[in-house]
């Protein structure tokens, strides 16, 4: 190593070198290492760092104080030592940390040296703990003393950081709460200070659901100024915090709070370094769809949705004090809340905030983030980036140095840290470009204009691990030449990460009041958790939120039980929705509707609701009619469920559905073809079909680990008595056919194996043989989403079995009470489609009608469902099918379905809500003064006057 090479810059302006009593050779090692780093020679740099660390670790004569001062460096670099040596170093560092506790005020940037020291201790603890990866035993004695120390430090020191890990709290974790999957280790880091702490929990929850959950183990590290609050909450709600680490950081004020976060990451590098991949994310974000293996690449950048959001006139300012000031100036940069306002104002004409303009690169040479006018092709978000451990480290080291160089000269780059991120990507282009789907402005999801700009910057969308599709077909011409039709039919992005809408001023300064979030709110009081759970997730990705007050008996599973719903007790509900087909005291129905209306006509929470969703049963919406809110009827089972006690009742409900569907502000949809046709038969209306996605179960994309094929058939508990005999005889023939075919595999009853199953149980098996009792069920969509191959009887076989054994008994909403009635209560509607008019959907004795209607079942309309013509054929299929190929096809289909489903929802929502602002549905002031359900109904739906 030549000394000449380094002497010129030994004393370069790096604040954290000052005051260190380094020998000359240490300085040479250090500065040379940094030089190598700067030119991308990571290997050489690491060797030098390793030598330096060994030197520092050997210094015995110096005070402990001296050593503690070097933890920043040591903590960042110790991982490059061979495993044994680094472990040794960590042990040594741990002892020193006890001293560090007493030296807390000595650093120029209080807290940072010390916090990395503590980070070292916990790193050691985690590493030792990793020797027991299942996390089921208590920590080893060394790990436990490390944990103890960390805990003690976090209590005593005012510069605490803490680790919410079950073992830290002395709890023995159970396998269920500490599943660390095999595969890559991914760490997501974020910072939160001030009111941004509100975003922490939603970010954590959504990341756990959607971020790399299918492939990898995830650790989340949050740097916060409200550590105690988070830790306290975690002690109450342990499960939310498993795998989450909180680290104390100072509140530095805007914009330093954002700019200095990379300094935090670097200072606690020893806590992050054992990840294979790391990602930095803005805390005001939410994962709304799976983000998986496609982002696990060396260096990952996210394209900005549209440089147009910047007015291009941001005022530049310089800081003179390191503490910084709050420099946010209203109107100087885009705010998402503004988008909605802009949209309201613009009405056809272009608004300046929505106009594409040049990227906001830092063009001043005074800043290290400077990008020459001729350079810069893409503009990146700083809100989401990452990559392999080495690349991420290189990137944050680069940015920290650049920002601190700037700060030392009183310069702040144009868009703060984002300018530096852009500079880095200009020098080192990412190996993976993500479209703006990975950082989608929440308030813009329903807007069209914003989707155009990324085209010129982001040529492709990764979409899914299993489907990589070009962002736009090559054949499409330049977007500038598109016709309106092309705009409407073009492929669009499915938002994966939402950049949450927030009026920035009020969040940062705690100033201006008002709603902190601009979001469409939908309301549901459904009796089934499946459909609404699915819709909720999809709409969330469209920037909408569903208030879910579930009346289902399974609501504890989704934790959505209605607790404060007025009037709708189970008894009251029975008066208006007759699920079991009986109708005890008719007059009470009117009384319940009146009470419901009075309770909600001026309810504060209801006033903010933009739309009511009714799904299972659809007839729930009857209660909400006079509130005059937009309504979404999403039929996932027969639309007449609960309305089948008499002809009159059904007639009235049909008229109601027609009245609802005729209003522009309402939507009538079905999640399957059968229900769409069924609605058409009785009402003459043809609802659009948007299938369910059940996207949540993407986390369950595991290859099967068991050999048994599952048999899904209604068991003795689920089958109604009048079907049990038939099913039992069917099962006997099935067993016999298996035996005579010499089937060597195992076909086991699903519910015998798993009396109460979780989706993760099912993915362990190669396939499911399903003898359906219903034509459309949510579990079918769930299984599609998990890529589980399903085998069903062919249409002809199923129809035959249905005629013989009544197999698909649940297709009739009144199957429990009307089994002896032949056919429907009412004839088809005069407007019903000719194709189905002649076939009564509820006629169980007409084989042709049964065949016609069963053909619309989900398992016959979705591709890649295996069908067997006979029991013999079933066993041939079981022996010969390549299930993993089928599974891949299902997943591929489901991925493209996702795009389709998104576009359909988006279009539907834009049609109904697109012309109004969130929270503006109750426009008529007279509404709250209306006295009764009947009166209000007559006003909202004149055609229903007198019917209720
Ligand atoms: C999506 C995206 O690319 N966002 C970038 C953008 O604006 P944003 O408007 O998204 O910035 P922002 O206000 O969300 O701040 C960025 C981040 O800093 C943290 N924070 C900020 C303020 C505060 O009081 N407390 C706090 O903890 C928090 O993690 C937040 O997410 O420009 C910022 C710099 O101006 C950052 O580069 C952001 O990464
Ligand atoms: Mn942000």
Instruction: Tell me the per-residue pLDDT of 223-250, one tens digit each, with 9 for 90 and over.
Output: 999 988 887 787 777 677 777 888 888 8
Query: Which segments of 625-687 does DSSP mark as H helices, in order?
Result: 647-662, 673-683
Query: Which of 282, 314, 359, 385 for mutating ligand 1's site (highest number of atoms within 8 Å of CB)?
Result: 282
- Across 557-568, average pLDDT: 93
Q: Give the Cα separation of 30 and 6 in Å (integer).
A: 10
* pLDDT tens-place string over residues 464-478: 222 222 234 445 565
**Cα(259) to centroid of ligand 1, in Å?**
8
Ligand 1 atom nearest the C-alpha of 224 is: 27
Range with lowest mean pLDDT among 401-415, 789-803, 922-936: 922-936
Closest ligand by atom to 264 CA:
1
The pairing of beta strand 285-287 with beta strand 544-548: unpaired
Residue 194 CB–ligand 1 contact under 6 Å: yes
Looking at the domain 520-690, which fold is it?
Answer: Rossmann fold (3.40.50)
Ligand 1 atom nearest the C-alpha of 191 is: 29
Where exactly are the structural domains of the chain?
25-33+40-101, 185-307+360-438, 520-690, 709-808+857-900
Crossing angle (nearest 10°) for helices 112-129 and 83-100: 130
| Cα separations in angstroms, 682 against 644, 678, 685, 944 | 13, 7, 8, 17
Q: How far from each other are the two terminal CA atoms of the chain, in whole angstroms?
A: 91
pLDDT tops 50 at residue 355: no
CATH architecture of 185-307+360-438: Alpha-Beta Complex (3.90)
Q: Give the Cα separation of 308 and 327 in Å (integer).
A: 22
> What are φ and ψ of residue 664, in 5° steps?
-65, -30
Residue 596 CB–ligand 1 contact under 6 Å: no
Residue 381 CB–ligand 1 contact under 6 Å: yes
Q: Give the Cα separation of 9 and 26 in Å (integer).
A: 14
Confirm or deny that 196 is annotated as ligand binding. Answer: yes
pLDDT at site 97: 58
Q: How confident is the model at residue 526 (pLDDT cuts 50, 70, 90)?
A: very high
Confirm or deny that 418 is annotated as ligand binding. Answer: yes
Residue 248 CB–ligand 1 contact under 6 Å: no
pLDDT at site 486: 62
Tokens for 873?
Answer: 């054929």
* pLDDT tens-place string over residues 161-209: 333 333 333 332 222 222 333 468 899 999 999 889 989 999 999 999 8
Residue 255 CB–ligand 1 contact under 6 Å: yes
Active-site annotation holds for 418: yes
Cis preceding-peptide flag for 617 (omega within 30 of 0): yes
Q: Give the Cα separation of 667 and 673 in Å (integer).
A: 16
**Cα(739) to centroid of ligand 2, in Å?**
62
Closest ligand by atom to 192 CA:
1
Q: Give the Cα separation of 811 and 854 in Å (integer).
A: 9
The ipTM estimated for the assembled molecules is: 0.96
The pairing of beta strand 460-464 with beta strand 467-470: antiparallel
Sign of CA dihedral 64, 66, 67, 71: positive
Average pLDDT, the chain: 76
pLDDT at site 895: 77
Q: In the sheet that 866-868 helps form, which strands lie side by side, from edge to edge?
A: 747-749, 709-712, 768-770, 790-793, 866-868
553: CB partners within 8 A, 6+ apart = none
Output the residue whose Cα is nearest ligand 1's atom 27: 192
Tokens for 486?
Answer: 């092309």
Range with lowest mean pLDDT among 294-308, 703-717, 741-755: 294-308
Residue 250 CB–ligand 1 contact under 6 Å: no
**Cα(208) to centroid of ligand 2, in Å?**
19
pLDDT at site 93: 62
**Cα(539) to centroid of ligand 2, in Å?**
21
Q: Greater confidence, 817 or 103? A: 817
Residue 416 CB–ligand 1 contact under 6 Å: yes
Q: Give the Cα separation of 509 and 251 in Å (integer).
A: 13
Closest ligand by atom to 253 CA:
1
Closest ligand by atom to 381 CA:
1
pLDDT tops 60 at residue 623: yes
- Across 28-37, average pLDDT: 78
Tokens for 568?
Answer: 């709708």
CATH architecture of 709-808+857-900: 3-Layer(aba) Sandwich (3.40)
Ligand 1 atom nearest the C-alpha of 507 is: 24
Q: Which of 209, 418, 575, 622 is catalytic?
A: 418
Give the three-state DSSP class for 614.
strand
Residue 284 CB–ligand 1 contact under 6 Å: yes
Q: Identify any residues that bridge with 222 across adjacent strands, giving them in sequence order.
A: 190, 246
Range with lowest mean pLDDT among 327-336, 386-395, 564-573: 327-336
* pLDDT tens-place string over residues 782-818: 999 888 999 999 999 999 999 988 889 889 988 877 6
Residue 192 CB–ligand 1 contact under 6 Å: yes
Question: What b/e sequence results for 69-91 when a residue is b if at least 16 CB atoms lie within 10 Å of its CB, and e otherwise?
Answer: bbbbbbbbbbbbbeeeebbebbe
**Cα(468) to centroid of ligand 2, in Å?**
28
Of the CA atoms within 13 Å of residue 848, those in its CB half-sphere come to: 5
Q: Identify any residues that bridge with 188 across adjacent strands, giving them in sequence order.
A: 220, 279
Closest ligand by atom to 203 CA:
1
Task: Answer whether 875's CB lies under 8 Å from 743's CB.
Answer: yes
Q: How confident is the model at residue 640 (pLDDT cuts 50, 70, 90)?
A: very high
pLDDT at site 883: 85
Q: Give the Cα separation of 368 and 401 in Å (integer).
A: 9
Q: Give the Cα separation of 356 and 445 in Å (integer).
A: 17
**Cα(417) to centroid of ligand 1, in Å?**
9
Q: How confident is the model at residue 372 (pLDDT cuts 50, 70, 90)?
A: confident
- Across 885-894, average pLDDT: 83
Q: Give the Cα separation of 349 and 352 in Å (integer).
A: 10
* pLDDT tens-place string over residues 15-30: 334 445 567 777 788 7
Output the residue whose Cα is nearest ligand 1's atom 19: 258
Confirm or deny that 528 is annotated as ligand binding. Answer: no
Residue 844 CB–ligand 1 contact under 6 Å: no
Q: Give the Cα separation of 881 and 890 in Å (integer).
A: 14
Confirm or deny that 556 is annotated as ligand binding. Answer: no
Q: How confident is the model at residue 490 (pLDDT cuts 50, 70, 90)?
A: low
- Across 96-118, average pLDDT: 49
Query: Which of 258, 259, 304, 381 for mutating ligand 1's site (highest number of atoms within 8 Å of CB)?
Result: 258
Range with lowest mean pLDDT among 38-52, 222-236, 556-570, 893-907: 38-52
Tokens for 795?
Answer: 């249409």
Q: Give the Cα separation of 627 and 431 in Å (integer).
A: 53
**Cα(382) to centroid of ligand 1, in Å?**
8
Output the residue whose Cα is nearest ligand 1's atom 15: 258
Residue 720 CB–ligand 1 contact under 6 Å: no
- Across 874-898, average pLDDT: 86
pLDDT tops 90 at residue 440: no
Residue 260 CB–ligand 1 contact under 6 Å: no
pLDDT tops 60 at residue 356: no
Closest CA to 311 of 339, 279, 280: 339
Verdict on whether the full-model pTM lies above 0.90: no
**Cα(224) to centroid of ligand 1, in Å?**
14
Tokens for 430?
Answer: 């990412």
Q: Identify any residues that bridge with 217 across adjacent strands, giving them in sequence order.
A: 185
pLDDT tops 80 at residue 580: no
Let me know if the fold of 185-307+360-438 is the same as that of 709-808+857-900. no
pLDDT at site 503: 56
Output the residue whose Cα is nearest ligand 1's atom 39: 383
pLDDT at site 174: 26
Ligand 1 atom nearest the C-alpha of 421 is: 37
What's the residue count for the chain? 948
pLDDT at site 453: 37
pLDDT at site 157: 34
Widest CA span of the chain, in angstroms?
Answer: 99
**Cα(779) to centroid of ligand 2, in Å?**
37
**Cα(738) to centroid of ligand 2, in Å?**
59
pLDDT tops 90 at residue 146: no
Range with lowest mean pLDDT among 118-132, 257-271, 853-867: 118-132
Output the residue whose Cα is nearest ligand 1's atom 2: 383
Tell me which H or E stretch contains 634. strand 631-635
Closest ligand by atom to 257 CA:
1
Residue 301 CB–ligand 1 contact under 6 Å: no
pLDDT at site 414: 87
Residue 257 CB–ligand 1 contact under 6 Å: yes
* pLDDT tens-place string over residues 729-770: 899 999 999 999 998 888 999 988 998 888 878 988 889 999
Confirm or deny that 688 is annotated as ligand binding. Answer: no
481: CB partners within 8 A, 6+ apart = none
Share of the chain above pLDDT 90, in %: 37
Ligand 1 atom nearest the C-alpha of 302 is: 3
| Cα separations in angstroms, 869 against 444, 792, 805 | 50, 9, 17
Task: Answer whether 194's CB lies under 8 Å from 145's CB.
Answer: no
Confirm or deny that 282 is annotated as ligand binding. Answer: yes
């Amino acid at each position: 190593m030549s000394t000449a090479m380094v002497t010129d810059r030994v004393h370069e302006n790096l604040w954290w070198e000052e005051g260190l009593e380094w020998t000359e050779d240490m300085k040479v090692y250090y500065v040379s290492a940094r030089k190598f780093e700067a030119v991308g020679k990571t290997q050489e740099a690491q060797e030098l760092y390793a030598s330096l660390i060994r030197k520092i670790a050997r210094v015995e004569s110096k005070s402990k104080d001296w050593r503690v001062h070097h933890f920043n460096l040591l903590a960042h670099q110790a991982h490059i030592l061979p495993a044994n040596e680094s472990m040794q170093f960590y042990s040594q560092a741990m002892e020193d940390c006890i001293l560090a506790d007493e030296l807390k005020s000595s650093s120029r940037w209080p807290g940072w040296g010390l916090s990395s020291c503590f980070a070292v201790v916990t790193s050691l603890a985690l590493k030792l703990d990793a020797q027991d990866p299942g996390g089921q035993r208590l920590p080893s004695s060394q790990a436990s003393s490390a944990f103890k120390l960390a805990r003690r430090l976090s209590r005593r020191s005012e510069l605490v950081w803490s680790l919410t890990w079950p073992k830290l709290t002395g709890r023995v974790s159970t396998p269920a709460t500490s599943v660390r999957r095999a595969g890559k280790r991914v760490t997501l880091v974020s910072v939160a200070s001030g009111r941004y702490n509100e975003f922490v929990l939603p970010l954590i929850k959504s990341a756990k659901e959607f971020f790399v959950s299918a492939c990898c183990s995830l650790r989340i590290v949050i740097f916060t100024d409200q550590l105690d609050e988070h830790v306290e909450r975690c002690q109450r709600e342990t499960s939310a915090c498993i795998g989450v680490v909180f680290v104390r950081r100072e509140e530095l004020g805007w914009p330093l709070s954002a700019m200095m976060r990379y300094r935090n990451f670097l200072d606690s590098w020893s806590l992050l370094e054992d990840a294979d991949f790391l990602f930095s994310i803005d805390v005001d974000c939410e994962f709304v769809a799976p983000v998986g293996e496609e982002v696990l690449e060396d260096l990952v950048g996210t394209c900005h949705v549209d440089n147009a959001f910047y007015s291009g006139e941001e005022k530049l300012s310089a800081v003179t004090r390191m503490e910084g000031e709050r420099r946010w100036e209203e109107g100087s940069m885009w705010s998402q809340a503004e988008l909605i306002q802009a949209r309201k104002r613009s009405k056809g004409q272009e608004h300046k905030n929505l106009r594409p303009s040049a990227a906001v690169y830092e063009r001043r040479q005074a800043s290290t983030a400077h990008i020459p006018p001729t350079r810069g092709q893409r503009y990146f978000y700083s809100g989401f980036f990452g990559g392999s451990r080495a690349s991420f480290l290189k990137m944050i080291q680069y940015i920290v140095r650049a920002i601190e160089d700037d700060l030392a000269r009183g310069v702040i780059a144009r868009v703060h840290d984002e300018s530096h991120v852009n500079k880095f990507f200009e020098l080192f282009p990412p190996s993976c470009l993500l479209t703006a789907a990975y950082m989608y402005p929440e308030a813009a999801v329903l807007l069209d204009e914003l989707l155009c700009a990324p085209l010129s910057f982001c040529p492709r969308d990764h979409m899914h691990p299993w489907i990589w599709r070009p962002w736009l077909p090559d054949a499409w011409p330049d977007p500038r030449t598109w016709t309106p039709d092309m705009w409407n039919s073009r492929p669009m992005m499915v938002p994966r990460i939402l950049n949450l809408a927030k009026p920035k001023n009020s969040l940062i300064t705690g100033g201006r009041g008002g709603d902190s979030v601009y979001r469409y709110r939908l309301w549901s009081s459904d009796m089934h958790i499946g459909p609404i759970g699915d819709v909720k997730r999809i709409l969330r990705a469209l920037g909408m939120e569903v208030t879910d007050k579930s009346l289902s008996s399974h609501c504890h599973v989704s934790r959505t039980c209605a607790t404060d719903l007025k009037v709708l007790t189970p008894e009251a509900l029975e008066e208006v929705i007759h699920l079991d087909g009986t109708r005890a005291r008719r007059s009470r129905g009117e009384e319940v509707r009146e009470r419901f209306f009075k309770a909600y006509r001026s309810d504060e929470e209801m006033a903010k609701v933009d739309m009511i969703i009714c799904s299972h049963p659809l007839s729930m919406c009857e209660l909400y009619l006079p509130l005059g809110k937009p309504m979404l009827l999403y039929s996932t089972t027969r639309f007449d469920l609960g309305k089948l006690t008499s002809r009159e009742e059904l007639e009235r409900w049909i008229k109601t559905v027609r009245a609802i569907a005729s209003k522009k502000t309402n939507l009538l949809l079905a999640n399957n073809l059968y229900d769409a046709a069924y609605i058409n038969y009785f009402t003459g209306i043809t609802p659009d079909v948007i299938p369910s996605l059940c996207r949540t179960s993407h986390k369950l994309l595991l290859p099967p680990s068991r050999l048994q094929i599952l048999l899904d058939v209604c068991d003795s508990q689920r089958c109604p008595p009048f079907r049990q005999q038939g099913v039992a005889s069917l099962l006997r023939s099935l067993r016999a056919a298996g035996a005579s075919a010499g089937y060597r595999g195992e076909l086991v009853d699903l519910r015998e194996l798993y009396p109460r199953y979780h989706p993760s149980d099912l993915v362990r098996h190669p396939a499911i043989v399903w003898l359906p009792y219903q034509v459309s069920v949510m579990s079918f969509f769930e299984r599609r989403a998990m890529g589980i191959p399903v085998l069903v009887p062919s249409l002809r076989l199923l129809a035959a079995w249905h005629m013989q054994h009544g197999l698909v008994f649940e297709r009739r909403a009144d199957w429990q009470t009307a089994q002896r009635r032949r056919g429907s209560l009412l004839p088809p509607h005069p407007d019903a489609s000719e194709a189905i008019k002649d076939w009564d959907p509820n006629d169980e004795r007409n084989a042709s009608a049964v065949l016609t209607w069963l053909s619309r079942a989900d398992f016959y309309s979705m591709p890649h469902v295996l069908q067997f013509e006979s029991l013999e054929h079933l066993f041939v299929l079981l022996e010969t099918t390549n299930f993993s190929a089928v599974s891949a096809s299902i997943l591929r289909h489901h991925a493209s379905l996702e795009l389709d489903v998104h576009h359909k929802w988006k279009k539907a929502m834009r049609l109904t809500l697109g012309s109004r602002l969130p929270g503006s549905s109750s426009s008529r002031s007279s509404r709250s003064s209306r006295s009764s359900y009947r009166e209000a109904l007559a006003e909202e739906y004149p055609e229903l006057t007198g019917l209720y």
